[in-house]
């Protein structure tokens, strides 16, 4: 079974686009299960519900009719107590790896500390992939974050699996 783990972000397509790109590559990563890490829910924008709907619709379009599993982690008000976030992410990866599943983490969406935690958790808990979707600066960031993956010019977007890069760098 393939498992996708990603933080939820209020930016409409930044999380979904990475998965969409992974699903359309030469060796597609089409997950059977998606875990969403939700740090903050804004009642004003209701981005968690939008994210759940977007991921679910994307999965359905690729033949997997499973709804994302949401893990709510309260973001520390002082942004000083990050241990809970790292612990919860690590627990999710460890439980899925213990079942023999292939794990991909998306480090694209979310704040900088979530990117750092995603890389740390992925390496410590033996994830199989760490995806990052790079959209070149030429493409207007505001437009790019709100644009579905297929509508972004292909010469301006690159999907990276950074785990091999990390492993190669640690051997030097």
Contact 39, 30 (CB under 8 A): no
Confidence of residue 18 (pLDDT cuts 50, 70, 90): very high
Confidence of residue 49 (pLDDT cuts 50, 70, 90): confident
The pLDDT of residue 74: 66
Buried b (16+ CB within 10 A) or exposed e, 143-168: ebbebebeebeeeebebbbbbeeeee
Q: In angstroms, what CA-CA distances link 108 with 36, 54, 67, 132, 141?
A: 13, 16, 21, 5, 14
**Residue matched to tokens 């409409």:** 12
Q: Which range, of 33-37, 66-70, 79-83, 140-144, averages the lowest pLDDT? A: 140-144
Residue of 45, 50, 108, 116 whose CA lies nearest to 82 = 116
Residue of 54, 63, 60, 61 whose CA lies nearest to 36 = 54
pLDDT in tens, 53-109: 999 999 999 999 999 999 987 665 545 568 888 899 999 999 999 999 999 999 998
Residue range 9-26: average pLDDT? Answer: 89
The answer to whether residue 31 scores a pLDDT higher than 60 is yes
Contact 105, 130 (CB under 8 A): yes
Q: Which range, of 10-14, 122-126, 142-146, averages the lowest pLDDT? A: 142-146
CATH architecture type of domain 2-170: 3-Layer(aba) Sandwich (3.40)
**Residue matched to tokens 């493409």:** 139
- In sequence order, what are the residues at sequence separation of 6 or more whose Cβ sits closer than 8 angstroms to the Cβ of residue 14? 108, 109, 145
Tokens of 65: 């009719």
Contact 5, 104 (CB under 8 A): yes
What pTM, to 2 d.p., does this model score?
A: 0.90
């Amino acid at each position: 079974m393939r498992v996708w783990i990603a933080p939820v972000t209020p930016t409409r397509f930044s999380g979904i686009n990475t998965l969409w790109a992974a699903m359309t590559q030469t060796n597609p990563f089409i997950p059977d299960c998606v875990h969403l890490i939700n740090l903050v829910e804004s009642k004003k924008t209701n981005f968690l519900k939008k994210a759940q709907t977007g991921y679910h619709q994307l999965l359905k379009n690729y033949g997997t009719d499973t709804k994302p599993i949401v893990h709510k982690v309260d973001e520390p008000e002082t942004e000083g107590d990050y241990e809970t976030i790292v612990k919860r992410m690590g627990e999710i990866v460890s439980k899925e790896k213990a079942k023999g599943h292939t794990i991909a983490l998306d480090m694209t969406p979310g704040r900088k500390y979530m990117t750092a935690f995603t890389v740390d958790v992925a390496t410590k808990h033996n994830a199989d992939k760490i995806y990052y979707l790079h959209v070149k600066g030429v493409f207007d960031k505001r437009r790019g974050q709100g644009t579905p993956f297929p509508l972004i010019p292909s010469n301006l977007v690159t999907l990276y699996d950074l785990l091999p890069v990390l492993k190669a760098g640690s051997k030097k």
